[in-house]
Structures are given as C-alpha cells and as structure tokens.
Amino acid sequence: MDPIDLRHLPDDGGARISELVATVAERPLYVRVGADDAASVSLLSKLGFTEVSRTTSDDEIVLALPPTLE
C-alpha cells in the first residue's frame, strides 16, 4: 500500500488521523507527513506509528503503523 498523504489535511487533521487509524484495517499502514508538521508527527507517534523514512528533497516523513498481535 502506498503511504496515505496527510500533508494537506485541514486544521482538524488530528480527528481525521484518529478516524483513519480506526477505519483502515490494513496493516502496516503507511502515512506521509511534512517534516515540519510536529503536531501530526507527535499524534501519529502516540497512535503507535514509527518513522520508516525521511526525505530532505521533499521535506517529508513516512511513518508506519505495524500490525498488532491479537
């Protein structure tokens, strides 16, 4: 699955990110955020996402939410 681009979310992006995690069952789930978007990176980290790559040319970070053991 290609990373979901979260760089253009409206100001209430936090609610949309939480909703995305709750509704998309496929794991790992990859998202792309702007490297300067500390609020989104912090929220994603709290939800269990970890950084998997960072590009300086595009100023973006790709994070992944790994599968959970049930």
Burial of 1 (0-12, 13-18, 19+ CB in 10 A): exposed
pLDDT digits (tens, 9 = 90+) for 21-70: 888 888 899 999 989 988 889 989 998 999 999 988 879 999 999 987 66
At residue 54, the pLDDT reads: 92
Instruction: Give the integer Cα–Cα distance in Å for 32 and 39.
Output: 13
Contact 16, 29 (CB under 8 A): no
pTM of the model: 0.79
CA-only gyration radius of the chain, Å? 11
First CA to last CA distance, the chain: 22
